[in-house]
Amino acid sequence: MRHNFNLLPEITPLSNKDYFYITDRYKTEFTSSISRYAEFELNFAAYAQGMKRIVGDSVEVIGDYDLVLLANKNLEHVWEQDENLSHKAREITIQFSSDLFFSNFLNKNQFDSIRKMLDKAQKGLSFPMPAILKVYKSLDTLASEKNGFYSAIKFMSILYELSQFCDEAHTLSSSSFAQVKARSESRRVQKVQEFVNRHYKEDIRLEQLADLSGMTPVAFSRFYKQRTGKSVTDYIIDMRLGHAIRLLVDSEMPIYEICYDCGFNNVSNFNRIFKKKKDHSPKEFRENYRRRKLVVTPE
């Protein structure tokens, strides 16, 4: 059985008459709890070296500058202190409605790159430094823009400029934890991923997946790695881990039950893989996640 722990309703400051809501603040400590919102969010942090960013089942220590786009109401996230800050960090958070770009609007050729970026950002999207440098001036002055029309145009321009770096940006959470279906332009890859999504609890053999693709196992392994950038074994492991972490944080299931429920063949193997991928044991991960007090969700 799954449970949501310590959920509190969140009344977000974004009204249905606003294009977006922005906060720009300097702080010497980050004390927020894990949260998730119905709104999409663009979050920028500066002078924040040593901060820890948690997005879904991704946990990373960030550098001086960090820019992340979140486009999924199911994706928990928080920026918290990993080390004490010796100076003021700056945090700019922009929340905007998920229906800001209605489908007919986004499907126009001129906005295709933004649509693709928002789709990718369902798992959380971290932008590289060149992208941050490209939009920093606009982010820096957006909160002080007095004219609502021009602020909306400036925000749209920020999203467009970021969308030009979509291929260089990296996703954060796993698909299974973020509850996002994996997509691929390759029909063969998509067919295999859909099979894994349905049968991750079972023993999956390479020969099965190769047969689905009409290839030999060797040819399929090479093809999958070329198309996705990771081996099919890594994809299966990531899929299983995402489901396992969701159960760790949303349920009270014993760890050994989670292990077998998510397709791992023994607890020792599960613990070893989990530790290698997440730098913590399943027990430590669960305890650390729960220690972050509460999850904030919209009413």
Q: Which domains does the chain have, with CATH numbers?
A: 7-171 (2.60.120.280), 177-298 (1.10.10.60)
**Per-residue model confidence as pLDDT tens digits over 232-249:** 999 999 999 999 999 998
When the pLDDT of each residue in the chain is averaged and rounded to a whole number, the result is 85
The DSSP code for 127 is: P
The proportion of the chain whose per-residue pLDDT surpasses 90, expressed as a percent, equals 49
- Tell me what the mean pLDDT of segment 194-199 comes to: 92
Q: How far is 63 from 132, CA to CA, in rounded Å?
A: 13
For residue 56, give Cα distances in angstroms to 26, 27, 130, 178, 222. 25, 24, 25, 6, 30
* pLDDT value, residue 5: 42
Burial of 280 (0-12, 13-18, 19+ CB in 10 A): middle
Q: Give 295's Cβ-side CA count (13 Å radius).
A: 21
Count of helices and strands (H, E) across the chain: 12, 11
Tokens coding 84: 């004490």
**pLDDT band at residue 105 using 50, 70 and 90 as cut-offs:** low
Instruction: Give the residue-averaged pLDDT of 126-142.
Output: 95
Provide the pLDDT for residue 9.
36
**pTM, to two decimals:** 0.80
What is the predicted pLDDT for the residue at 295?
A: 47
**What proportion of the chain, given as a percentage, has pLDDT over 70?**
86
Checking if the pLDDT of 123 tops 60, the result is: yes
